[in-house]
Structure 1
Amino acid sequence: MLNLLNQHRTVRKYTDKPIDSELLTKLLEATCRTSNTGNMQAYSIVVTTDATLKQQLAPTHFNQPMITQAPVVLTFCADFNRFTKWCEQRQADPGYDNFQSFMASTIDTLLAAQTFCIAAESEGLGICYLGTTTYNAGEIIDILKLPKLVVPITTVTVGYPADLPEQTDRLPQEAVVHFETYKDFTSADIDQLYAEKENSDFYKQFVAENKKETLAQVFTDIRYSRKNNEFFSDKFLEVLKKQGFLSVIN
């Protein structure tokens, strides 16, 4: 298992080989064993294999080709709709139309997504996690017909790899692991932790292509700018209000 986890690669190109329905069912069964808040399983997984629906979803993910090429697209959703309906049908008063419940269901959702990814990779499949789902959550809600108290959180494409891509670089462990309490970073720590990334030929070319002075500027000015972050923040907050998770906030 440790070897599997350490060999993870993001797979964006897939063969034409379909995923056997029995295998997909087994992967989803394993996913549904994931740890979750209060054993409420406040998440849902929408499995999309229909070509027309994938074409409709593609623009919501900025037309990344994996969406239409992958045999299976899974949209993992925070879902308090099902649990709320069960409560109401059992003479219980649900109180899950709030931000705390949204956060709990989001955590459940992401745990389930990661379980699926590991299970899929263990069976020789390749996966690609898309961080674009919350950017256009409203449009995805319309396409997948998600009711109130259901919000898409992340999307995973899955299929048999057409090639074996290089592993994406990662920061050294000491950048993300803190023992006992959080140890804040000095300027020297930051220089050391990002040195390998900044000095790689790949990222030097990345900086040059984007006509920036530093790699950090590529992130702040182009990839994840303040303007875009604020725009998509406002957009997603409106989705949460529409879907009923911010009903107690004025």
Structure 2
Amino acid sequence: MIKEIANHRSIRKYKSSPIDEEVLSDILHSAARASTCGNMQLYSLVVTLDARVRAELAPCHFNQAMVTEAPCVVTVCADVHRFSKWCEQRDAEPAYDNFEWFLNAATDALLAAENLALAAEAHGLGVCFLGTTLYTARDICRILHLPKGVIPLTTVVIGHPAEQPPLTDRLPLDAVVHYDRYKDYTDAEIDELWAEKEASPETSALLAENGLPNLAQIFTRNRYRREDNIAISRAYFELLREQGFFNQ
């Protein structure tokens, strides 16, 4: 998978042709082989192939065209519901309706999602992770009929690419890797780590488009604003309560 990892890119334009059933089955089996807490597999993958259901989901993802153009949309969910039911049917009292087990289930789910994406790319398909899932999780729960103990975390669009965008940049490895202990950054190191990204033509275009003096302000003022972050957080925490992750 080293090649797929190195060449990963988000694909936002897709051909409408369906994914071969055997290929999709292989991708899903690969997702199910991901590492998991206690071998409990605390996740569910809701695979939406029906165009009518994808059309229902589209507003949850700001009507991005890829949700209806791509043949497959996978909603990745943290799921303690299934394991809890198994316990109850065997006279074992489950205790997974709390925030610790949301975190365990979220870890399981996101590991499965990465396996899913890598396997899809290994088959020559394109993928795109949709962060909009967190913004509209309540509506997604309603559309997909998610029971208590299940909550969406991310969505992966999968299909045959209709574009080949360039690789997006990444910070130098020194920015994200710490040996032995966390080493905090000096102001000079922060400047150095972001220097190449800030000097790129892509950043220049973004600055002109947004009318702002630097890239950081694009993130804080336009992309991920404080008021939006707080509103989304409050809504998601409330949904966690409703879905039974804050009962204890």
Q: Does the alignment pair 1:225 with 2:225?
A: yes
Does the residue aligned with 1:119 lie in a helix, a strand or coil? helix
Which residue does the alignment assign to 1:16?
16
2-side partners of 1:11 and 1:31: how far apart? 19
Q: After superposing the two structures, state which structure 1 stretch, 50-59 or 105-114, moved more.
A: 50-59
How far does the alpha carbon of each residue in 1:25-71 deviate from its partner, in whole angstroms, 9 at most, with x for none?
11111211111000000000000011111111111111111111110
Does the residue aligned with 1:237 lie in a helix, a strand or coil? helix
Alpha-carbon RMSD across the aligned residues, in angstroms, is 0.8
- The AA in structure 1 aligned to 2:90 is R
Which residue does the alignment assign to 1:176?
176
- The AA in structure 1 aligned to 2:15 is T
Once superposed, which parts of structure 1, at least 4 consecutive aligned residues long, lie more than 3 Å away?
A: none
Q: After superposing the two structures, state which structure 1 stretch, 29-38 or 94-103, moved more.
A: 29-38
Which residue does the alignment assign to 1:157?
157
- The AA in structure 1 aligned to 2:49 is T
How far does the alpha carbon of each residue in 1:146-177 deviate from its partner, in whole angstroms, 9 at most, with x for none?
00000000100001111211111111111111
Q: Does the alignment pair 1:6 with 2:3?
A: no
Which residue does the alignment assign to 1:245?
245
Which residue does the alignment assign to 1:235?
235
1:40-59 map, 5 Å: 40-59=40-59
- The AA in structure 1 aligned to 2:138 is G
- The AA in structure 1 aligned to 2:189 is D
2-side partners of 1:66 and 1:168: how far apart? 19
2-side partners of 1:28 and 1:163: how far apart? 24
Q: Report how far residue 17 of structure 1 moved.
A: 1.9
Q: After superposing the two structures, state which structure 1 stretch, 32-41 or 205-214, moved more.
A: 205-214
Which residue does the alignment assign to 1:92?
92
Number of residue pairs the alignment of both structures matches: 248
1-side partners of 2:55 and 2:27: how far apart? 24
Which residue does the alignment assign to 1:112?
112
Q: Does the alignment pair 1:63 with 2:63?
A: yes
2-side partners of 1:15 and 1:137: how far apart? 27
How far does the alpha carbon of each residue in 1:178-232 deviate from its partner, in whole angstroms, 9 at most, with x for none?
1111111100001000011111111112012111111100000110010000000
TM-score normalised by L of structure 1? 0.97
1-side partners of 2:3 and 2:242: how far apart? 43
What runs of 5+ residues in structure 1 fail to find an aligned partner?
none
1:112-131 map, 5 Å: 112-131=112-131
2-side partners of 1:208 and 1:235: how far apart? 33
- The AA in structure 1 aligned to 2:34 is T
- The AA in structure 2 aligned to 1:75 is T
1-side partners of 2:16 and 2:146: how far apart? 29
Which residue does the alignment assign to 1:75?
75
2-side partners of 1:58 and 1:22: how far apart? 26
1-side partners of 2:2 and 2:120: how far apart? 15
- The AA in structure 2 aligned to 1:86 is W
- The AA in structure 2 aligned to 1:159 is G
Q: Does the alignment pair 1:193 with 2:193?
A: yes
Question: What percent identity do the matched residue pairs reach?
Answer: 52
TM-score normalised by L of structure 2? 0.98
Does the residue aligned with 1:59 lie in a helix, a strand or coil? helix
2-side partners of 1:10 and 1:200: how far apart? 19
- The AA in structure 1 aligned to 2:223 is R
Q: Report how far residue 3 of structure 1 moved.
A: 2.1
